[in-house]
Amino acid sequence: MKYEISITKTTEPKAKPADESKLGFGKVFTDHMFLMEYNTEKGWHDARIVPFDYLPIHPASTVLHYGAEIFEGMKAYRTQNGDISLFRPMENIRRLNNSADRLCLPKIDEEGCLDILKTIVALEKDWVPHEEGTSLYIRPFMFGNDPHLGVHAVHNATFVVICSPVGAYYPEGLAPTKIAIESEDVRAVRGGTGYAKCGGNYAASLRAGQKAEDRGYTQVLWLDGVERKYIEEVGSMNVMFKINGTIVTPALTGSVLPGITRKSCVEMLRSWGYPVEERLLSVDELIAAAADGTLEEAWGTGTAAVVSPIGHLSYDNKEYTVSDDKIGSLTQKLYDALTGIQWGKVEDTYHWCEFVCKG
Ligand code: COI
């Protein structure tokens, strides 16, 4: 089911970023945004693309008090043959609806949501950057918008899509990151919202992230919230380790985000013949492997982070270098294969790319 989308174009288009090598992440926004409202009587309605602007919001709005918010992160790419395409957008749409289910927010029709994403990306196609390593980051998000303070499931909600031309997420680019294993704060517990992509998970992560940054680390690696024993994920990405030839990544136990880049990497690795174990991985096992040299490579996966090498781990006041603090050969192979498909440099044998429009 498609939503009827009205389009009001800006009369004051902004200048596009002059130097695409300095885009960074999420600092520049395109000319337009998508908005749509929900209430229990009308369902989703008033789908519209309007000039990018601030949102008016009631001071009692559910999102401001009780954190009723979910989001997605996805990218549009300018491929080598000049097409603009999305990467596995249905995976994001399904995850958005799973997050909505967990946070008691309304679901969106899958085909209708794909049409929304394609419509805004096609309208903003000139904002999709050209340089290698860049893309148009798309941030769909939804929040509860009931104008009263009672704590109840949401009856009014707003769905928004904003777009931002981006380069690398980390200032390090593809240089290895330094990750601190966090043993005090936890991000999520099973039965909580860890598997949902909701703002609250990230709010809970900020203190530990800041502490790690102050000590010179890029991000934290979370342990499970019950035993503080099992590896879960990094601040903005899932995590994978090559231990003695086998790739190990934390199982999706309910407190780990089911990443789409994670899923794509697992599928590629298996198709290349690597053994991949999705299982509980204790921090003791990881640290023992780091200490005896069997931890061959470590990397994070995420839409924003893509495939990001980890060159350094810190745990319990001890420091461990991984892969000589260089990008490992398998990490590089994964990065090249994934971005090769996304940028249309290699054949998309998995059928992951979704055509949006000619660039
Ligand atoms: C993404 O990879 O798209 C994310 O949502 C991570 C982030 C919070 C920047």
What is the location of CATH 3.30.470.10 in the chain?
Answer: 6-166
DSSP designation for 241: E
Q: Is 138 touching ligand 1 by the criterion CB < 6 Å?
A: no
Q: Is 164 touching ligand 1 by the criterion CB < 6 Å?
A: no
pLDDT value for 332: 97
Residue 54, judged by CB atoms within 10 A of its CB (0-12, 13-18, 19+), counts as exposed
Q: Is 303 touching ligand 1 by the criterion CB < 6 Å?
A: yes
∠ CA 15-20-26, rounded to 5°: 80
Nearest residue (CA) to ligand 1, atom 7: 236
Q: Is 259 touching ligand 1 by the criterion CB < 6 Å?
A: no
Please state the three-class secondary structure of 278-321 as a single string. Answer: EECCEHHHHHHHHHHCCEEEEEEEECCCEEEEEEEEEECCEEEE
CA 281 – CA 232 distance, rounded (Å) = 8
Highest CATH level, class, for 6-166? alpha beta
CA 252 – CA 248 distance, rounded (Å) = 12
* 177-342 fold: D-amino Acid Aminotransferase; Chain A, domain 2 (3.20.10)
pLDDT value for 174: 87
pLDDT in tens, the chain (359 residues): 999 999 999 999 999 999 999 999 999 999 999 999 999 999 999 999 999 999 999 999 999 999 999 999 999 999 999 999 999 999 999 999 999 999 999 999 999 999 999 999 999 999 999 998 999 999 999 999 999 999 999 999 999 999 999 998 988 788 999 999 999 999 999 999 999 999 999 999 999 999 999 999 999 999 999 999 999 999 889 999 999 999 999 999 999 999 999 999 999 999 999 999 999 999 999 999 999 999 999 999 999 999 999 999 999 999 999 999 999 999 999 999 999 999 999 999 999 999 999 99
| CA 302 to ligand 1 centroid distance, Å | 7
Residue 311, phi then psi, degrees to nearest 5: -110, -5
What is the location of CATH 3.20.10.10 in the chain?
Answer: 177-342
Q: Is 235 touching ligand 1 by the criterion CB < 6 Å?
A: no
| CA 303 to ligand 1 centroid distance, Å | 6
Residue that has been written with the tokens 């130097």 in this structure? 19
Q: Is 73 touching ligand 1 by the criterion CB < 6 Å?
A: yes
pLDDT value for 170: 84
Q: Is 323 touching ligand 1 by the criterion CB < 6 Å?
A: no
Nearest residue (CA) to ligand 1, atom 5: 73
pLDDT in tens, 288-332: 999 999 999 999 999 999 999 999 999 999 999 999 999 999 999
pLDDT in tens, 96-145: 999 999 999 999 999 999 999 999 999 999 999 999 899 999 999 999 99
Alpha carbon dihedral 93, 97, 98, 101, in 10-degree steps, equals 170
pTM: 0.96
pLDDT value for 213: 96
Q: Is 227 left (phi over 0), alpha (psi -120 to 50) or beta?
A: alpha
| CA 111 to ligand 1 centroid distance, Å | 23
Q: Best mutation site among 161, 198, 236, 256 for ligand 1, i.e. most ligand atoms within 8 A of its Cβ?
A: 236
pLDDT value for 229: 96
pLDDT value for 50: 98
Q: Is 43 left (phi over 0), alpha (psi -120 to 50) or beta?
A: left
**319 strand-pairing partners:** 314
